[in-house]
Amino acid sequence: MNKKLKITLWSLFFTYFSAFLVLSATMAQIDPAPRYHVFGEVNKMFADMSFWTTQTNWMFFIFFIFVALDGKWGIWKPGKVAWINFLAYFTLTMALFWSALSATLSNQNIDSNPLVAYANVYNSFLKWFITVTTHLVTYIIAITYYIVVVKKEKIDIKSWYKKDLLVGWIYPIFYLLFVSIRMLIMFKIGLGHYVDGISEKDKTFLENNYEWVLNDKYVDIGVLATPYFFFNPLVAKNGLELFVLGTIGCLLLITACQYLMIVVNNALLKEKKVKEVNKNFEINRAEKIFSYIKLSISTVILGLAIYKLTIIENYNFKGDIQSLYYLVYPLIYIFAIIANIATIILTSLRLKNKYNNPTLEFLTSTFSGLFMIQVYGISILIFIPIVLERIYKNKKIPSLK
């Protein structure tokens, strides 16, 4: 491409997207979601920045600055790991938003659909323009640029879990900490501080249009402090399970998106597939010890998950509590049961030298613990054999024969 034309196109792109970010931030101040009308300017800004989509759109802008510079002056140039993780974040952004939007639009009765309290109201062209750009256009630009322009490199999907998978988890963990710290601070301050500080203009607006915002039956400090419903542990029932299911579920989806992008990347290379010859494998004494420890811990966690599932009053779907908050309870323990059964099967097959899939075993054992983290943190024990085996394979401890 002609250098002058390239500079012109990049200039137009950054001018457009800069204007879009300014417009989005401005609309978050003058016409936010109904619940955020109780906030002043500073809290509206923090509320807007607490959304995954807002943060990833700023990430999009900064990331493409580095893409445009293309390594000039020794500046970092996004490589294959950065691209895979970047696209994984945006795939999650697009998929979750449009799923949640359809769930909200299909039922706007706040008494039966708790998502309404968290939703924005798309009552103008500007709002639709911003949300479509945020949750669709940016993704289309990113994936198109990657497919058409970026030079692809083959990615070893089998070794991704050893390091690059965890690199991709850094930003989601940072985001979770950001949201959690903001949430805890607001919990400490309390609902009264925000309700008492509503401006007369916003109070009148809410009384005329969204009176439910002023009713603590629908909007409590949990609704104000969390960007998404699944981060709110203060719901009527199973709040801790909801929070863990939401956070770990998102991490699982990001992991799935990473592997999806790797498959897409390798498929775009159009290389001839080399048929792999199945080789016999054996595990040594140290690996057997780690596997037996993992089996024992996973069996205990499995039993605990089954026990938790027998406490039917936590999901009896009776009373005035919305069904969604009952549903999360069996859902999280079913996920935990599936992950632990898979871990036990995969580990047992490896011990018998019949099947070895390190990636799948790592993922099932990791998530088997994460989905049970809310039960006194006991599932953290599953990470002991995982970490020890990783250290051992990196030859940081002596070999056991």
Q: Determine, yes or no, domain membership for 272.
A: no
What is the pLDDT at residue 44? 95
What is the pLDDT at residue 376? 82
Residues 39/42/47/50 CA torsion (nearest 10 deg): -160
Domain finish residue from 218, 235, 254: 254
Q: Pick from 207, 202, 179: which is nearest to 40 by CA? A: 202
Report DSSP letters for 70-125, one per residue. Answer: TTGGG-----HHHHHHHHHHHHHHHHHHHHHHHHHHH---TTT-GGGGG-----SH
Alpha-helical segments (H) within 149-238: 164-189, 191-195, 200-209, 221-225
Q: Looking at the structure, tell me whether residues 50 and 166 fall in a common domain.
A: yes
Q: Determine, yes or no, domain membership for 343.
A: yes
Rounded Cα distance, 166 and 366, in Å = 12
Whole-model pTM above 0.95? no
Q: Pick from 226, 255, 257, 246: which is nearest to 335 by CA? A: 246
Q: Determine, yes or no, domain membership for 211.
A: yes
Strand, coil or helix: 371:
coil
Q: Looking at the structure, tell me whether residues 77 and 163 fall in a common domain.
A: yes
The Cβ of residue 34 has, within 10 Å, a number of other Cβ atoms equal to 20
Q: Looking at the structure, tell me whether residues 318 and 250 fall in a common domain.
A: no
Query: Which structural domain, as residue segments, surrounds residue 338?
Result: 281-388
The one-letter amino acid at 398: P
Q: Looking at the structure, tell me whether residues 156 and 241 fall in a common domain.
A: yes
| Residue showing tokens 């990791």 | 366
Q: Looking at the structure, tell me whether residues 94 and 176 fall in a common domain.
A: yes
What is the pLDDT at residue 258? 96
Rounded Cα distance, 244 and 332, in Å = 8
What is the pLDDT at residue 105? 67
What is the pLDDT at residue 396? 52
What is the pLDDT at residue 99? 78
Question: Digits of tens for pLDDT over the chain (401 positions)?
Answer: 677 888 888 899 999 999 999 999 999 999 999 999 999 999 999 999 999 999 999 999 999 999 998 888 878 889 999 999 999 999 988 888 887 766 666 677 787 787 888 988 888 898 889 988 888 888 999 999 999 989 889 999 999 999 999 999 999 999 999 999 999 999 999 999 999 889 999 999 999 999 999 998 889 999 999 999 999 999 889 999 999 999 999 999 999 999 999 999 999 887 666 555 555 667 888 889 999 999 999 999 999 999 999 999 999 888 777 888 999 999 999 999 999 999 999 999 999 988 889 999 999 999 999 999 999 888 889 999 998 888 888 775 544 44
Q: Looking at the structure, tell me whether residues 225 and 294 fall in a common domain.
A: no
Q: Looking at the structure, tell me whether residues 221 and 318 fall in a common domain.
A: no
Q: Looking at the structure, tell me whether residues 82 and 231 fall in a common domain.
A: yes
Domain finish residue from 238, 254, 270: 254
- What tokens does 337 get? 């049961």
Q: How many domains does the chain have?
A: 2
Q: Looking at the structure, tell me whether residues 153 and 14 fall in a common domain.
A: yes
Q: Determine, yes or no, domain membership for 135.
A: yes
Domain finish residue from 254, 273, 303: 254
What is the pLDDT at residue 282? 77
CA atoms within 13 A on the CB side of 240: 9
Q: Looking at the structure, tell me whether residues 224 and 358 fall in a common domain.
A: no
Q: Determine, yes or no, domain membership for 268.
A: no
Q: Determine, yes or no, domain membership for 276.
A: no
Q: Determine, yes or no, domain membership for 262.
A: no
Q: Determine, yes or no, domain membership for 266.
A: no
Q: Looking at the structure, tell me whether residues 107 and 222 fall in a common domain.
A: yes
Q: Looking at the structure, tell me whether residues 298 and 190 fall in a common domain.
A: no
